[in-house]
């Protein structure tokens, strides 16, 4: 079966969510990835939503984190405070986050483009992004790949990645072992080098070259070895994604 870049990103993200894990998700592509994982390889994946839904069996794509569907057949209907406390206690393996900019250390910006006092663009801000990135064990990002987003240094650190490099998160008081884990784009799957904490290439999507990825990145990526090829979506993944997760193509229908 043929597939789109968006479908490849969602299927690649779904593979990262192992059975039995807990993940905080929002709406859009991250929610589609979590739903796909729950319906295929990870039936015991527990989804948490910032508004308080815990462990729902989503009947269809919610339109917001407070949508009643985020509580459907859930194990608990609680509050934002309880969701954040659960993350703070170290019980949540994954969170999906995003932003207008991401840098080589995985810091995200969703606050301003340009100087903070006189910005070129004022963005929505943090919401719960700072808290989730600070306390969940692994941060996952899904984003289009271009130089405007992948910048050497973000204009504002809304969401902490590895900050300025090795040891910086711990020096800021954040829990050791937490931080950015994977960045899934329309060109590649990216990770972070253990020694330098800089962004590195884990795999290239089929038909994409190393040069293609570097040309769309505003900083030098770490290449430790010949990158693998990102696995294609399986027929089963595509069937479930298209007919059960997003039958009205709210997400996968976007160009």
- The per-residue pLDDT for range 152-189, each reduced to its tens digit, is 999 999 999 999 999 999 999 999 999 999 999 999 99
Tell me the per-residue pLDDT of 15-65, one tens digit each, with 9 for 90 and over: 999 999 999 999 899 999 999 999 999 999 999 999 999 999 998 889 898
For 169, the enclosing helix (H) or strand (E) is helix 168-171
* CA 202 to chain CA mean position, Å: 15
pLDDT at 224: 85
Q: Which residues are catalytic?
A: 50
Task: Report the C-alpha gap between 135 and 85 in whole angstroms.
Answer: 9
Q: Is 238 among the domain residues?
A: yes
Backbone angles phi, psi at 213, to 5 degrees: -70, -45
The domain tally of the chain equals 1
Q: Is 81 among the domain residues?
A: yes
Task: Report the C-alpha gap between 254 and 50 in whole angstroms.
Answer: 25
Q: What is the pTM of this model?
A: 0.95
Q: Is 251 among the domain residues?
A: no
Q: Is 193 among the domain residues?
A: no
Q: How many CB atoms lie within 10 A of CB 155?
A: 20
CATH code for the domain in which residue 154 is found: 3.40.1080.10
Q: Is 59 among the domain residues?
A: yes
Q: Is 26 among the domain residues?
A: yes
Q: Is 227 among the domain residues?
A: no
Q: Is 73 among the domain residues?
A: yes
Domain that holds residue 124: 5-186+232-245
Number of H helices, E strands in the chain: 7, 14
């Amino acid at each position: 079966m043929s597939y789109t870049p968006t479908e490849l990103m969602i299927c690649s993200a779904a593979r990262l969510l192992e059975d039995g894990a807990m993940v905080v998700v929002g709406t859009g592509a991250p929610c589609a990835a979590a739903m796909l994982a729950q319906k295929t390889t990870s039936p015991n994946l527990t989804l948490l939503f910032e508004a308080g839904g815990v462990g729902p069996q989503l009947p269809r794509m919610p339109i917001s984190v407070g949508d009643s569907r985020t509580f459907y057949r859930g194990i608990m209907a609680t509050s934002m405070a309880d969701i954040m406390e659960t993350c703070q206690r170290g019980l949540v393996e994954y969170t999906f986050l995003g932003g207008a900019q991401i840098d080589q250390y995985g810091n995200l910006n969703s606050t301003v483009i340009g100087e903070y006092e006189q910005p070129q663009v004022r963005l929505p801000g943090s919401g719960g992004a700072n808290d989730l990135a600070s306390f969940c064990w692994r941060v996952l990002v899904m984003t289009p790949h271009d130089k405007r987003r992948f910048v050497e240094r973000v204009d504002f650190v809304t969401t902490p990645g590895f900050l300025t490099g090795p040891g910086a998160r711990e020096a800021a008081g954040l829990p050791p072992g937490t931080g950015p884990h994977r960045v899934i784009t329309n060109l590649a799957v990216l990770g972070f080098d253990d020694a330098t904490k800089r962004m590195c290439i884990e795999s290239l999507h089929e038909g994409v070259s190393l040069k293609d990825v570097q040309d769309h990145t505003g900083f030098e990526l770490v290449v430790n070895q010949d990158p693998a090829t990102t696995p294609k979506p399986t027929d089963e993944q595509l069937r479930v994604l298209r007919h059960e997760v997003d039958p009205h193509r709210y997400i996968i229908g976007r160009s």
